[in-house]
A and B are shown apart, each in its own frame.
Chain A
Amino acid sequence: MAYVTHDDAQSVPLAEVGEMELYHAKSWVTKYVFSQDAKVIAIQYSVTAIAIGMLGLVLSWLIRLQLGFPEVFDFITPADYYQFITMHGMIMVIYLLTALFLGGFGNYLIPLMVGARDMVFPYVNMLSYWIYLVAVLVLVASWFVPGGPTGAGWTLYPPQAILSGTPGAEGGILLMLISLALFIIGFTMGGLNYVVTVLQARTRGMTLMRMPLTIWGIFVATCLALLAFPALFVGAVMMTFDSLLGSSFFMPAIVEFGELLDYEGGSPVFFQHMFWFFGHPEVYIVALPAFGMVSDLLSVHARKNIFGYRMMVWAIVVIGGLSFIVWAHHMYVSGMNPYFGFFFATTTLIIAVPTAIKVYNWTLTLWQGNIHLTIPMLFALAFIVTFVNGGITGLFLGNVTADVPLSDTMFVVAHFHMVMGVAPLLVVFGAIYHWYPLMTGRMLDETMGQFHFWVTFLGAYAVFLPIHYLGLLGVPRRYFELTDISFIPDSVQTLSAFVTVVALIVGFAQLVFIYNLIVSRTKGEPAGRNPWRATTLEWQTAEVPPGHGNFGETLPVVYRWAYAFSVPGARDDFIPQNLPPDQVPTDGSVS
């Protein structure tokens, strides 16, 4: 009975937190549109992010059509192509993944999982979403200005980003910078909520080390975002100055098409430092929530505690800290002082150690588990495969020497798609299959789920694995077409066509997923309470889906960590976090 007996702590008075004041919706508009309920805001964030993500997906199809079948689709001009890759990249990284993980899952799960009634600043939280929406609209508006959206690549490197040789230099780049600035302002409002809610609004008994890893991942990712996004903000504001007011922060003396421009003395490399000081933490802003969620999926569906919980927490914190001192590994061949390479290669490879520990602990969680191969579990397994694959190619690119021939080749494209595209998205899918029953009260359709999983996992793997080898060959990224290059054999074109076909199939599988989301909302099998038999607080609410204020009359009190699965001596293979020790059913054995 070592794990279920417990000292009685009933007499301890509640701390100062008490009941939060809640904003009670007065009308349909304040309940569903200008809502201050984090759960509604989460749905708003998610729907908007997925909608703009669909645009990103369509752009990727157009990119693939051009690469797989050049000259067939002659409505795609080089300018279009560069606009497509730019907008695809920016949409997927910022407006889909960042918004979905933090604005979507963060809003939904933080209050529920830490046992709070809502976010601490609901009004600010609502503003956060509406500013995000405006940022998305400004981004989309860039298609409707003269010159169209910017085609500077998602890295927006000056000088070309604001010069006439790049598409969208007239208005597109300005709208992009404005949209980013708005996104950052909106995100900061949301981020304050996530951080302070985790710090201050946990329920009684919820110590830091009793929080589920999902919360740890989102919490540390939000801290990174709050400190890193200002770098992008600074870069964007300064580039706007250069573009609009003619200042020379990033612009040296330039002769553009024979004409001397009115700039002098600035340095383009400074922008790259700014961009990547944000850009590298951004990778972990996407990855850390995925790390956290996948830990919980694995644990719940393997009916086993996450292996090495403390190491997992430390790894998240250490990765978060280190992510601020590795940025220039994106710049080994940028013309910066070459001696920086020694430092940044070392820090970059050090970050591999805590990351590898996380991978080991995920697989060791499976060891001696009781693994239910549910759809969320399948996605979690696929995440590990693709994440390890994408992670080890990072060791090529982070190790300064091996990066020299590989940088700016398709190897880089394959690497970051695998590690921060495919892998986190697999977690997103797994998480949606896992938490959809909580959000709607119904299960997603299993057959469609199986189809969606296998096509997405195997398809995405088949798309990105071969692309690495094109990079080894020396195929450059961001090339509209590969005509007349002596070292590129015809087989490359065959491979590209194959990749395009598979990518289109994977793309259409996502439509099945969206269909599943819509249909199961009304026709899905009723889930009941806690269908996965999970321990965390979001499944212990008074009603499913959880109502206004989350927990009904009284807030839950937490008595144990989030991973009390298969505890010896207990009757069930899980013990909810809020079940008082004296109420835990035992199996009658004496231990």
Chain B
Amino acid sequence: MFFFRQIVQKPWVTVEESISDLHGGAEFSLPAAKVGLWVFCAVITSLFLLFIASYSMRMSLADWRPLPEPGLLWLNTAILILSSVALQWARVNARRERIDQVKIGLFWGGGFAIAFLAGQLLVWQQLVALGFFSAANPANAFFYLFTGVHGLHLFGGLVALGRTTAKVRRDGFDMARVRLSVELCTAYWHFLLAVWLVLFGLLLLT
């Protein structure tokens, strides 16, 4: 609506010009990095929606055989939730400027995320050991694809988290910068958790 109101302006009319001169230049009163993260999340959403669309299209064909969900996936999901919780805790403490708690939160958030990735690799190993190769059945192939792409995104997040941790150690006193980095990491983590819950739900339901 906000966007709509802007693009009906007549930029050549004097009356509107005086109002436009007051415009600060930024579309949203957010740091650029946050807007960037939201745009990036939109791109990832598009990516996974397309994966899900192709999954449901492929599912409707005759040779579809569902894949058993290893119980380990439940544990992994719980670990990923814990990872998000830890980062949320770091975020809250960054707001309250309690740098030690932030460090603890970042540590546990990263640790749980690494544990999640290790758990996913373990699931792959179990499935391969059970004979569910990617070529055998499209459901298997999709499982490897989904978990792989999601894992890669989380891995990228870990790199950012590592940089944030370094920043906290280096200039822990510049709370504004620390807070922004922690908030970005946390938002990305929550987003990837949501993506995983959707993917996991999809795998469970089909």
Asked if A and B touch directly (CB within 8 angstroms), the answer is yes
Which residues does A use to contact B, with CB under 8 Å?
Answer: 2-3, 5-7, 9, 12, 14-17, 114-115, 120-121, 188, 191-192, 195-197, 199-210, 226-227, 230-231, 233-234, 237-238, 241, 245-249, 262, 264-267, 270, 273-274, 277, 305, 309-310, 313-314, 317, 557-561, 563-564
Q: Is B1 an interface residue (CB 8 A)?
A: no
Residues of A close to B61: CB separation below 8 A: 265-267
List B23-56 residues whose CB lies under 8 Å from chain A.
Answer: 23-30, 32-33, 35-36, 39-40, 42-43, 46-47, 50-51, 54
- Among B26, B57, B133, B138, which residue has its beta carbon within 8 angstroms of that of A265? B138
- Among A201, A226, A234, A241, which residue has its beta carbon within 8 angstroms of that of B43? A226
Within the complex, the shortest CB–CB distance from B6 to chain A, in Å, comes to 5
**What is the number of contacts between chain A and chain B, taking CB atoms within 8 Å?**
177
Report whether A12 and B21 are in contact in the complex, using a CB–CB cutoff of 8 Å: yes
- Closest A residue to B149 using CB positions: A237
Report whether B18 and A231 are in contact in the complex, using a CB–CB cutoff of 8 Å: no
- Sample (29) of A-B pairs whose CB atoms are under 8 Å apart: A15-B24, A16-B29, A115-B25, A120-B36, A121-B36, A188-B43, A191-B43, A192-B43, A199-B35, A201-B25, A204-B25, A207-B9, A209-B9, A227-B42, A230-B50, A245-B141, A246-B134, A247-B135, A248-B135, A248-B141, A264-B63, A265-B138, A267-B57, A270-B58, A273-B57, A274-B54, A305-B12, A557-B21, A563-B12
- Among B6, B24, B33, B149, which residue has its beta carbon within 8 angstroms of that of A14? B24
Report whether A270 and B54 are in contact in the complex, using a CB–CB cutoff of 8 Å: yes
Bound-state Cα–Cα, A204 to B23, Å: 6
Q: Are A6 and B7 also in contact (CB < 8 A) when A120-B36, A226-B43, A230-B46 are?
A: no
Report whether A246 and B7 are in contact in the complex, using a CB–CB cutoff of 8 Å: no
- Among B11, B50, B133, B138, which residue has its beta carbon within 8 angstroms of that of A274? B50
Within the complex, the shortest CB–CB distance from A537 to chain B, in Å, comes to 12
Q: Are A17 and B7 also in contact (CB < 8 A) when A9-B18, A249-B141 are?
A: no
Q: Is B174 an interface residue (CB 8 A)?
A: no
Q: Is B205 an interface residue (CB 8 A)?
A: no
Bound-state Cα–Cα, A557 to B25, Å: 10
Total B residues in contact with A, Cβ cutoff 8 Å: 49
Q: Is B10 an interface residue (CB 8 A)?
A: yes
Report whether B26 and A234 are in contact in the complex, using a CB–CB cutoff of 8 Å: no
Q: Are A202 and B25 also in contact (CB < 8 A) when A196-B32, A230-B46, A262-B135 are?
A: yes
- Closest B residue to A264 using CB positions: B63
Report whether B28 and A199 are in contact in the complex, using a CB–CB cutoff of 8 Å: yes
Q: Are A265 and B63 also in contact (CB < 8 A) when A9-B21, A17-B25, A200-B28 are?
A: yes
